[in-house]
Chains A and B, each alone.
With several copies, the nearest count.
Chain A
Amino acid sequence: MKVGVVGASGYVGGELLRLLSTHPDVELNMVTSRTYAGEYVHRIHPSLKGFIDLTFSPLNIDKLTENDLVFTSVPHGKALEIVKRLYDAGVKVIDLSADYRLKNPKAYVEYYGYEHPYPEMLLKSVYGIPELHREEIRNARLISSPGCMAVTSLLGLAPLLKNNLVDTKHIIVDSKIGSSGAGGKPSASTHHAMRAGVIRPYKPVKHRHTAEIEQELSIIAKEDVKISMTPHAVDLVRGILCTNHTFLTKEVDIQQLWKIYRGMYKGEPFIRLIRDTKGIYKYPDPKFVVGSNFCDIGFDIDEKNNRLVALSASDNLMKGAAGSAIQCMNIVQGFNESNGLKYTPFTPV
């Protein structure tokens, strides 16, 4: 199968290349970058030296239609046209941007500041979290890969909403994320001396991922769910932790929570439940998933305050982006769902 990657010079693009270059079932055929067209891939992604022989191509959609499937990993707003044209040409598309994630076109105005030009496409697009939409993914022609904090938070919260355990108006998602989450473009605030050593809140209210988390949780809960999200930049390169604070509407104990989480995630190849009472790994921490496609999930209860904390950790470039996208590709193509994703994480890293 011939595969192309648009926006291959970015961080998500680079991670897609890392995974695709050793994937047993695909041929990496075309990787585009406007800025680095003609340049060897390893000049931009040094670690890939020796793995990929290709040079970047300019962004030529006609040529891209020679592929069976194309990943688009460009900034939001910039994927709108590219995806539409590839889709219309019959190419399967997995879009890593936000441009086809939301079902409600009005949400694009509110959260992204643009009027969506192809609202009818939004319903054709499948939200690419296998744990939530595996069957729809199998038959999709357009898959919209989730936001990195969104997928991490959603996997932590979904079992609670599915079981109607929590107050849907007081859910706080406090997330912490490494610098690769902001992509590869330098700026004053990503300059190392300014970005190192921070615990920097940004968009403490109205963060864009709110929209997709609310959309998906409302489907699961079958009612209107409100999310209060605050992300923080921390001094890491890869990794997300979502601390999902919720308030219980029913009484529940730890044993029941184990059952609820196991019930939803039994057999999932990339979910690990982490809630130990011994050792140093008692709750999820992105340190122990870096480089892998895992989302580690844990939980705890504060009886005094009826609070339930659901913790979820992922590598933002893997389960948070390229890993999820490859998993979706495997499903849609009927490959083994773990192919190309068998990366064991590290102790220590």
Chain B
Amino acid sequence: MRKVNCPECDGEIKVPDDAVKGEIVACPDCGANYEIEEIGKEIKIKPAESVGEDWGE
């Protein structure tokens, strides 16, 4: 499991070992969604549309 820091809040986002380009990952702290842009030696992510999910008021 690799990690990348959240551009918004600096939280540690987990990136599964079998993740592929285009996959969506989410920040455990601030909830922001990111798309994996590049996954090689370095992992690059860019903001993705939030699903706007809300489990209640």
Instruction: Report if A and B touch in the complex (beta carbons < 8 A).
Output: yes
CB distance from A27 to the nearest CB of B (A): 14
B: contact size bracket? 10 to 19
A-B contact count (CB 8 A): 53
A-chain residues with CB within 8 Å of residue B7 when the two chains form the complex: 255
**Which residues of chain A from 21 to 52 have any CB-CB distance to chain B below 8 Å in the complex?**
39-40, 42-43
A: contact size bracket? 20 to 34
| Contact pick for B31, options A53, A273, A279, CB 8 Å | A279
Given A55-B14, A255-B9: A273 in contact with B29 (beta carbons within 8 A): yes
B13-57: CB near A (< 8 Å → 1, else 0) gives 010000000000010111110000000000000000010011111
Q: State which of A129-137, A166-174, A182-190 sits at the interface with chain B.
A: A182-190
User: In the complex, are the beta carbons of A277 and B55 less than 8 A apart?
Assistant: no
User: In the complex, are the beta carbons of A278 and B56 less than 8 A apart?
Assistant: no
A56-67: CB near B (< 8 Å → 1, else 0) gives 000000000000
CB distance from B24 to the nearest CB of A (A): 9
A-chain residues with CB within 8 Å of residue B14 when the two chains form the complex: 53, 55
CB distance from B11 to the nearest CB of A (A): 8
By beta carbon, the residue of chain A nearest B56 is A189
A-chain residues with CB within 8 Å of residue B32 when the two chains form the complex: 277
A258 to B30, CA, bound (A): 9
| Contact pick for A189, options B10, B28, B31, B57, CB 8 Å | B57
CB distance from A178 to the nearest CB of B (A): 14
By beta carbon, the residue of chain A nearest B16 is A55
Check A262 for interface membership: any CB of B closer than 8 A: yes
A243-276: CB near B (< 8 Å → 1, else 0) gives 0000000000011001100100000000001011
User: Closest 4 CB pairs between A and B?
Assistant: A189-B56, A187-B56, A277-B31, A258-B9
